[in-house]
């Protein structure tokens, strides 16, 4: 019985090491809240006045972010209250990977 439990524990550990860390982080932190201040479709960027971004341990501020996909920018308009997820790329840039208008 002990060998079966050890084997199961080993496989559970192995699986947790194989899964990308971003999967764990996405579940751990809620979406961030903000207001769209400016959208630059050509530059594929969006300016957000946001509350704390917990997954990045970032305090509230207003800043410009890259959008992972230009299609994300078509989901919202300037002035919209939004829920969004930002991730840090390897080069240090912060990128909006998901965004949606907050329910009113």
pLDDT of residue 22: 47
Bridge partner residues of 49 (DSSP): 35, 62
Q: Look at residue 1 and tell me whether its pLDDT is greater than 70.
A: no
Radius of gyration of the chain measured on its C-alpha atoms: 18
pLDDT of residue 103: 81
CA 25 to CA 87: how far, in whole Å?
Answer: 10
Domains in the chain: boundaries? 31-101
pLDDT of residue 28: 81
**pLDDT per residue over 39-86, tens digit each?**
999 999 999 999 999 999 999 999 999 999 999 999 999 999 999 999
**Cα angle 77-83-88, degrees, rounded to a multiple of 5:** 105
Phi-psi region of 40 (alpha: psi -120 to 50; beta: other; left: phi over 0): beta
The pTM of this model reads: 0.73
CATH class for the region spanning 31-101: mainly beta
């Amino acid at each position: 019985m002990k060998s079966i439990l050890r084997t199961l524990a080993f496989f559970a550990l192995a699986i947790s090491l194989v899964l990308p860390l971003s999967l764990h982080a996405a579940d751990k932190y809620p979406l961030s809240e903000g207001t769209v201040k400016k959208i630059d479709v050509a530059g594929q960027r969006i300016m957000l006045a946001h509350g704390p971004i917990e997954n990045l341990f970032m305090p509230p501020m207003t800043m410009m972010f890259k959008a992972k996909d230009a299609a994300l920018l078509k989901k919202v308009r300037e002035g919209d209250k939004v829920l969004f997820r930002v991730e840090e790329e390897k080069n240090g840039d912060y990128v909006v990977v998901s965004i949606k208008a907050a329910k009113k």
